[in-house]
Amino acid sequence: SQELEQSPQSLIVQEGKNLTINCTSSKTLYGLYWYKQKYGEGLIFLMMLQKGGEEKSHEKITAKLDEKKQQSSLHITASQPSHAGIYLCGAGTYSGAGSYQLTFGKGTKLSVIP
């Protein structure tokens, strides 16, 4: 089965600093999703990457997909307290019957100190 490893598990940064979160898959990626979650709340969709080399940005958050390495990175520039939360990556896989499902990493907990 698909396994996703996120690193680091937690991160504490000073406001204004840049940071990167990584997500590595044990299998071929068919779609890589990034979500943000406040503790105990719903997941907020950030970005979905499909093709190797693809890069997407939303405000100060940029995500890249390295298909060969089966890896994605999420980069936040000039972090703000509003960026604090748990970042989850999810990878799509296909079963033999053609069904598609997402497997998620354990998450990276980000704290931003004002």
Partner 1 sequence: DSGVTQTPKHLITATGQRVTLRCSPRSGDLSVYWYQQSLDQGLQFLIQYYNGEERAKGNILERFSAQQFPDLHSELNLSSLELGDSALYFCASSVGTGKLSVYEQYFGPGTRLTVT
Binding site for partner 1 (CB under 8 A): 30-31, 33, 35, 40-45, 48, 50, 88, 90, 92, 94-95, 98-107
Cβ-based nearer residue to partner 1, 98 or 114: 98
Of 31, 61, 64, which is closest to residue 48 (Cα–Cα)?
A: 31
Shortest Å distance, C-beta 107 to partner 1: 7
Residue 29's φ and ψ, nearest 5 degrees, are -95, 130
Q: How far is the CB of 102 from partner 1 (least distance, A)?
A: 6
Which residue's CB is nearer to partner 1, number 33 or number 79? 33
Q: How far is the CB of 23 from partner 1 (least distance, A)?
A: 13
- Burial class from Cβ neighbours inside 10 Å (0-12, 13-18, 19+) for residue 65 reads buried
